Amino acid sequence: MQHLIDTNDFSDRDIAAIFADARRFKAKRPPRLLKDKLLITLFFEASTRTRSSFEVAAKRLGAAVVHLDPSRSSTKKGESLEDTFANLCAMEPDGVIIRHSENTTPSLLAEMEMTPVINAGAGNYAHPTQALLDLFTLEEYFADEGGVAGKKIAIVGDIANSRVAASDIRLLRRMGMEITLVAPEPFMPETDLPRTERIEEVLDKVEVIMSLRAQLERHAKPIFEDYAEYARHYCITEDLLADRSIMIMHPGPVMRNIDISDAILDDPRSLVLDQVTNGVYVRMAILKHLLLDT
Ligand code: CP
């Protein structure tokens, strides 16, 4: 039984096959490859993109999707997460897609070996489908330049608390990208990567900036009182970019004019909505890979 807890669950060959499928699905709507399959989603944290993207992906391939809203589930009556999961598995789904605030929850449920578990975001540990759609978007952008190996990306923002950053760093590094971390000290994780607090230092060196929001829900107490002041140093603006051909990415949700300015979100250099579009095709290909083992 194959699970997706982080991107290292997939070999390079798996990722190449998934991306080939995603490209095919993007070029031409596929047949209903998963028409007999049923997935359950279990989101213990809020989501706009990931949950709806998985549902669209599953439905585009003909699968049925059942959502369990944890705030209205029997976990509220004291049922353990393991028992909730075991009861859902007793209904014989073909996979469970889970988001949770704890880093280890998806892997603990996967160890029960009852159904394929797909991590839709766990604590600050991993968000593998986001990292894969980010890599797909980068590969698409750099397709005419031989791919992403050797390309330079700056990851900017609350890196220490971001599961997207954690998964992106592992995956993009593995694919040969050169990563610089840009963050104020409270947002900087322990790292052996190049790092700086000053975004100006990377502007003439990178081809891509991945901006991240402050993960306020993971801050035990407020880190900055004034995000306008934070934005003065880290917001991606027209003034900051000038005429540089740096592509801008963000996993969402974007804190407008704190992470990225309104003007840059509308700028042709923004790949933010391309990431969302590609997310559906990449998740379609991931579901095909996990559920059909192809
Ligand atoms: N990128 C991402 O995980 O967005 P959501 O929180 O809206 O799913």
Per residue, the 3-state secondary structure of 97-164, as one string, reads: EEEECCCCHHHHHHCCCCCCEEEEEECCCECHHHHHHHHHHHHHHCHHHCCCCCCEEEEECCCCCCHH
Q: How confident is the model at residue 147 (pLDDT cuts 50, 70, 90)?
A: very high
| Pocket flag, ligand 1, residue 74 (CB < 6 Å) | no
Ligand 1 centre to CA of 164 (Å) is 9
Angle among Cα 151, 124, 104 to the nearest 5 degrees reads 120
Fold of 129-271: Rossmann fold (3.40.50)
Q: Is the CB of 161 under 6 A from ligand 1?
A: no
Ligand 1 near 2 CB (within 6 A)? no
Which of 41, 49, 101 to mutate for ligand 1's pocket (most ligand atoms within 8 Å of CB)?
Answer: 49
Per residue in 196-232, pLDDT (tens digit) is: 999 999 999 999 999 999 988 888 888 888 899 999 9
Residue 252 CA: nearest ligand 1 atom is 1
d(CA 253, ligand 1 centre) in Å:
6
What is the rounded average pLDDT of the residues 87-94?
A: 98
Q: What is the average per-residue pLDDT within 277-281?
A: 98
CA distance 234 to 61: 40
pLDDT of residue 281: 98
CATH 3.30.1050.10 fits 7-126+276-293, yes or no: no
253 lines ligand 1 (CB under 6 A): yes
Percent of the chain topping pLDDT 90: 94
Report percent pLDDT > 70 for the chain.
100
Residue 176 in contact with ligand 1 by CB distance below 6 A? no
- Whole-number pLDDT of residue 218: 86
User: Is there a shared CATH topology between the 7-126+276-293 domain and the 129-271 domain?
Assistant: yes
Cβ of 252 less than 6 Å from ligand 1 = yes
Predicted local distance difference test score (pLDDT) of residue 33: 97
Average pLDDT of the chain to the nearest whole number: 97
Alpha carbon separation from 157 to 72, 90, 147, 203, 213 (Å, rounded): 34, 42, 25, 15, 6
Please tell me if the CB atom of residue 50 comes closer than 6 angstroms to any atom of ligand 1: yes
Give the number of the atom of ligand 1 that is nearest the alpha carbon of residue 120: 3
Closest ligand 1 atom to the C-alpha of 127?
3
Per-residue pLDDT at 244? 98
pLDDT beyond 90 at 117:
yes
Residue nearest to atom 5 of ligand 1 (CA): 47
Average pLDDT for 153-181: 98
Contacts of 273 (CB under 8 A, 6+ apart): none
The domain limits of the chain are 7-126+276-293, 129-271
